[in-house]
């Protein structure tokens, strides 16, 4: 395996506590960023209706003209760097749309859209471990929960505020510490579930902590209190909204922390990891299981697993969603006709072997992944599902150039 020596761009996210003046300045910046984005999107949409093309340079010229008008003169009060960056983000959104990687860009809402502003090197100063943004006299009071890489210099800084009122700053730096790990011959099949969050082909089962269920009573109470507040911009409703948002944030933080620990461990211990290609978007349409599936966060687990595998030189093999991993006997290959969800242990009619439902599925996934490894990267194996579709597809990790 070739070893790359280039640095990986990595974002380091920290909490910070702004002063009243800094909070007011950042709030104005968030509002201006949202306004410029919406104005530029409206201009590009109108131009598209006239069969005209408007690119980033054109919207940048529009921004200059908007600042000279009396109605939008307040745009001059904030740093110009985040305003230019939001135009670049809009350009990227249209690029993804035309490449059919995303839907048409949507307007940003003051209530529901993420509050954030991105600064490039001309919009901040980072010296002696202190970060000072443009239009500010004092550095941000950052809680350095972990050190930056030695000698790291941020290339971009993103400031954001979540629905719970917490402030975050994300510093994008080169991290020389991320490099491919020593190759290992270990391979593992991973079956995700609800009773157990993960079941490995080794027989190990990782308990599903069900973070949302643990805080469900507190969340329901907070949401009831919010529903009783008069709709509008009242202070009491805003306070109740933040209270509910803090509970949601607590659930999301614990869930993300667990997934990071699990994916890091799996990537470090195994060379090849085999997972199933699940359509979570369709699965959550089942209203009986939607809440539990969302709480398990299978999509985030796969996303974390894939980018960490790319970082550390591991391979992720994704098995086709129609591959009958649960109904297929891992001992003799006999296919059971049906397998209801309430059946956790079953006996194969062909060989008489007794299987744990989840462990058997993980072992079948591992076998499918090994078939890809034997056939070679990018080569589909001959084994196919009863419907004629290929059992697996190779998920080639993206290597840094």
Instruction: Report the catalytic residues.
Output: 191, 276, 358
Dist. CA 234–CA 51, nearest whole Å? 44
Q: Is there a contact between 377 and 316 (Cβ–Cβ < 8 Å)?
A: no
Residues with Cβ within 8 Å of 121's Cβ and at least 6 positions away in sequence, in order, are 154, 155, 156
Round to whole Å and give the CA distance between 79 and 70.
Answer: 18
Tell me the CA end-to-end span of the chain in Å, nearest whole number. 15
Token pair in block for residue 295:
């709480």
Q: What share of the chain is helix, strand, coil (3-state, %, to 5)?
A: 40, 20, 40
- Alpha-carbon dihedral sign for residues 211, 213, 214, 220: positive
Pairwise CA distance, residues 197 & 298, whole Å: 9
Residue 187: strand pairing partners: 272
C-alpha dihedral sign at 183, 314, 189, 194:
positive
Instruction: Single out the residue of 118, 36, 113 nearest to residue 85, CA to CA.
Output: 118
Cβ distance 44 to 210 under 8 Å? no
Q: Where are the alpha helices (DSSP H) in 50-141?
A: 56-67, 80-98
Contact 397, 318 (CB under 8 A): no
Q: What residue has token string 């609800």? A: 194
């Amino acid at each position: 395996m070739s070893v790359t020596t280039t640095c990986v761009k990595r974002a380091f996210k920290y909490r910070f506590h702004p002063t009243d003046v800094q909070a007011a300045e950042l709030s104005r910046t968030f509002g201006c960023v949202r306004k410029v984005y919406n104005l530029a999107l409206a201009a590009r949409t109108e131009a598209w209706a006239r069969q005209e093309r408007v690119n980033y340079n054109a919207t940048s010229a529009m921004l200059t003209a908007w600042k000279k008008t009396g109605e939008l003169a307040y745009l001059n009060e904030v740093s110009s760097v985040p305003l230019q960056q939001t135009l670049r983000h809009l350009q990227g959104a249209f690029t993804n749309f035309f490449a059919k990687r995303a839907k048409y860009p949507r307007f940003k809402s003051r209530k529901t859209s993420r509050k954030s502003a991105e600064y490039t090197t001309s919009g901040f100063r980072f010296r002696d471990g202190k970060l000072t943004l443009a239009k500010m006299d004092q550095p941000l009071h950052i809680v350095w929960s972990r050190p930056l890489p030695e000698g790291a210099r941020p290339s971009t800084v993103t400031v954001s505020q979540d629905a719970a009122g917490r402030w975050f700053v994300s510093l994008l730096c080169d991290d020389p510490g991320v490099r491919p790990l020593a190759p290992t011959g270990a391979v593992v099949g991973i079956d995700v579930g609800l009773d157990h969050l993960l079941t490995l082909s080794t027989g190990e089962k990782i308990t599903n902590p069900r973070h949302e269920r643990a805080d469900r009573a507190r969340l329901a109470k907070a949401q009831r209190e919010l529903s009783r507040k008069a709709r509008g911009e009242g202070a009491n409703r805003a306070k109740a909204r933040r209270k509910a948002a803090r509970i949601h944030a607590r659930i999301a933080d614990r869930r993300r922390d667990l997934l990071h620990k699990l994916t890091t461990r799996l990537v470090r211990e195994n060379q090849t990891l085999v997972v199933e290609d699940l359509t979570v978007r369709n699965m959550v349409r089942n209203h009986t299981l939607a809440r539990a599936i969302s709480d398990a966060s299978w999509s985030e687990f796969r996303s974390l697993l894939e980018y960490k595998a790319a970082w550390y030189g591991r391979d992720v093999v994704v098995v086709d969603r129609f591959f009958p991993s649960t109904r297929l006997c891992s001992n003799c290959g006999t296919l059971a006709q049906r397998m209801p969800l309430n059946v956790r242990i079953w006996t194969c009619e062909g060989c008489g072997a007794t299987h744990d439902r989840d462990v058997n599925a993980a072992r079948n996934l591992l076998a499918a992944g090994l078939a890809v490894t034997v056939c070679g990267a990018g080569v589909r194996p001959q084994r196919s599902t009863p419907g004629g579709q290929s059992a697996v597809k190779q998920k080639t990790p993206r290597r840094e150039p």
